[in-house]
């Protein structure tokens, strides 16, 4: 079967575009029926010179999920290979338990579809959209899980455990941020979104931002503002967004 052409996001003529053209061309020739996607920062044109090129390949010839790395045009390139019938139920359980996306789900969800002659990648994106919708519908349950995680860290800090205070306070910090994101219906599924979390909180919730800034860097003095942040985020649903 002759490989169908592929398209790319609207990218500048830079090393990342050259790398994408090179690798996608080789993948299309090797797997003519495969769905190919560009994901990560390159898919949105927000990449920098140091960014990786992240690609998704969906093909029936793959027996299992595989990941490998290479370099193209001097650009670090990560390739995720998936069978079209990926285990959606496994991912559903993980997403509902954690409140977040598995890396695989994030890459599929955010992929710019470069080519998809058999429609495999598009079908996977529809499945992921359904999973994300279910996660959003159950966010109250997921917030409750974050609250329990935060309270468990508080109890462990009060008792003294083998974990260090710093480790437990970091867990507490993460539970507060994740709980706030869930209550607001926001996504924090990619590395870029995670890196911007504090800036997003600063813009949307200055009161919580002030508490979190007082807790950074994590020291013995972080506990008081973190406890106030727990009360602030996990009090009754007054702060939930629709």
CA separation for the pair 57, 34 (Å, rounded): 6
pLDDT tens sequence across 154-177: 888 887 655 578 888 888 998 999
- Residue 239 phi/psi, 5-degree rounding, is -95, 0
Instruction: Give Cα 172 to chain centroid, integer Å.
Output: 20
CA separation for the pair 88, 124 (Å, rounded): 9
Q: Is 103 exposed, middle or buried (0-12, 13-18, 19+ CB in 10 A)?
A: middle
Question: Mapping DSSP to helix (H, G, I), strand (E, B) and coil, where does residue 237 land?
Answer: helix
pLDDT for 185 equals 81
Mean pLDDT score of the chain: 84
Burial string for 136-158 (b: 16+ CB within 10 Å, else e) reads eeebeebbebbbebbeebbebbe
CA separation for the pair 64, 62 (Å, rounded): 6
pLDDT tens sequence across 9-61: 888 889 999 999 999 999 999 999 999 999 988 988 888 989 999 999 999 99
Contact 133, 187 (CB under 8 A): no
Q: Is 38 exposed, middle or buried (0-12, 13-18, 19+ CB in 10 A)?
A: buried
User: Residue 2's pLDDT band (boundaries 50, 70, 90)?
Assistant: very low
Contact 42, 51 (CB under 8 A): yes
Helix ranges restricted to H, the chain: 15-30, 41-44, 88-98, 103-110, 120-137, 139-159, 165-184, 191-195, 197-204, 206-214, 223-234
Question: Mapping DSSP to helix (H, G, I), strand (E, B) and coil, where does residue 33 land?
Answer: coil
Residue 193 has pLDDT above 90, yes or no: no
Residue 103 has pLDDT above 80, yes or no: no
């Amino acid at each position: 079967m002759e490989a169908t052409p592929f398209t790319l996001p609207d990218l500048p003529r830079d090393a990342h575009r050259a790398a994408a053209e090179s690798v996608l061309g080789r993948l299309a020739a090797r797997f003519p029926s495969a769905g190919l996607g560009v994901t990560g920062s390159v898919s949105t044109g927000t990449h920098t010179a140091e960014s990786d090129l992240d690609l998704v390949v969906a093909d029936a010839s793959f027996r299992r999920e595989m990941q490998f790395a290479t370099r193209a045009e001097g650009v670090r390139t990560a390739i995720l290979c998936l069978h079209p019938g990926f285990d959606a139920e496994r991912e559903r359980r993980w997403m509902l338990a954690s409140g977040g996306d598995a890396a695989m789900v994030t890459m599929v969800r955010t992929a710019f579809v470069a080519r998809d002659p058999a429609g495999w990648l598009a079908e996977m994106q529809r499945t992921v959209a359904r999973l994300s919708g279910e996660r959003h519908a159950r966010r109250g349950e997921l917030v409750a899980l974050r609250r329990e995680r935060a309270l468990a860290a508080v109890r462990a800090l009060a008792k003294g455990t083998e974990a260090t205070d710093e480790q437990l306070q970091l867990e507490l910090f993460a539970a507060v941020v994740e709980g706030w994101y869930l209550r607001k219906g926001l996504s924090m599924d990619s590395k870029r979104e995670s890196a911007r979390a504090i800036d997003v909180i600063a813009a949307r919730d200055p009161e919580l931002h002030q508490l979190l800034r007082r807790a950074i860097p994590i020291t013995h003095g972080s506990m008081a503002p973190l406890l106030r942040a727990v009360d602030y985020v996990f009090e009754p649903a007054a702060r939930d967004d629709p």
